[in-house]
Amino acid sequence: MKDFERITKSILLALIGISTLALVLSLFLKAKDPQKAGGPQGKAPRNGAATITVSVLETSATSLAQRVRLNGDVLSRSRIALYADTAGKLVSYEAGIGSEVKKGDVVARIDPSRPGSPFAVSPVRSTIRGTIIALPYDPGDTISTSSPVATIGTLDDLEIITYVPEKYIAVLRTGLPASVSFVSWPGEEYPARVTMVSPVVETESRTVEIRLSVDAPKDRLKHGMFAVISLVMREVKNAIVVPKTAIKTFNGESVVYVAGEDGLAQRRVVTTGLTSDTETEIREGLSFAEKVIVSGSVSDGTPVRLANAGGKK
């Protein structure tokens, strides 16, 4: 019986020794592994918080442009309308749209006759050399002396005309840059610049007419083409710019979260500036070469692990 008790005690002591050795070994291994010790920098998580994997964007000097998208038309800069000397019926057009005419060429003929009072047909002559770009009537229509019978323009001097909402008046000026694309030439963009801003606002549409010159090959531009314009209203350079999604609201203030050197997220109150569709300028609250968290749900003090260690989005 005594031998049995002695053997049992020996077994229990051995088990206790093995358990103690395993515990010591486990603590030693955790101390050697910073990830298991509480975060990417070897810091213990606050209040037992789990480490969150985040994507960051390292701040650097960047340019940001605020743009407005507009639709416009390619038109001849030098164009005039032709009018009849007398009212009457349009007998015929002597040339079609796209025809080149010289000064003095007959473009249309008007019959001013009335019942019982016959008159000779009156010609409408071009007053300049150019190309016919508009014939708004059909033979047989009644024409008054204030009706434009035809429009003549020069096709080597084209511009884009568009209309900008009234709310942008404060920043509209000649020289504003833009980029222009055309449905006819998908995938191609051409630089343009505002050359004229109308001094009046159209009361019906509440818009301001502007004109742009575009730097594009002549074979790309045709009178009457539809243009899509991206007009730069404001621009900043050498600024700190972050994605809009990185900006949060905390206690009524705009904040961003930065991945600190200690492996913890830091909340920063920021002052924003210019915005575009996807990005925002940060005027105060951030410095260059900081890692702004752009994805990952964190709060101040959350342990973080960087998914993109290089800091590039």
pLDDT in tens, 1-29: 556 666 666 666 666 767 776 766 676 66
Cβ–Cβ contacts within 10 Å for residue 73, how many?
Answer: 13
In a domain, 38, yes or no: no
Greater model confidence, 37 or 167: 167
In a domain, 41, yes or no: no
DSSP state of 167: G
Contacts of 257 (CB under 8 A, 6+ apart): 246, 248, 265, 266, 267, 268, 292, 293, 298, 299, 300
In terms of domains, do 299 and 183 share one?
Answer: no
**pLDDT score recorded for residue 38:** 43
Confidence band (pLDDT; 50, 70, 90) for 115? confident
CA-to-CA dists, residue 276 to 68, 73, 230, angstroms: 9, 25, 12
Greater model confidence, 44 or 10: 10
Q: Is the pLDDT of residue 34 over 60?
A: no
Confidence band (pLDDT; 50, 70, 90) for 271? very high
- For residues 151 and 79, the answer to whether their CB atoms sit within 8 Å is yes
**pLDDT score recorded for residue 263:** 92
Confidence band (pLDDT; 50, 70, 90) for 138? very high
In a domain, 195, yes or no: yes
**pLDDT score recorded for residue 41:** 42
Residue 42, both tokens:
């070897």
Lowest mean pLDDT among 92-96, 202-206, 309-313: 309-313
Distance of alpha carbon 56 from alpha carbon 313, whole angstroms: 6
pTM: 0.65
Q: Give me the mean pLDDT over the 119-143 stretch.
A: 92
User: Which domain range does residue 297 map to?
Assistant: 46-60+247-306
Q: Distance between the two ends of the chain, CA-based, in angstroms?
A: 74
In terms of domains, do 124 and 140 share one?
Answer: yes
In terms of domains, do 292 and 225 share one?
Answer: no
For residue 203, the one-letter residue type is T
Closest of 126, 135, 138 to residue 89, by C-alpha: 138
% of the chain beyond a pLDDT of 90: 68
- For residues 286 and 270, the answer to whether their CB atoms sit within 8 Å is yes
Looking at the structure of the chain, the number of domains it has is 4
In terms of domains, do 27 and 173 share one?
Answer: no
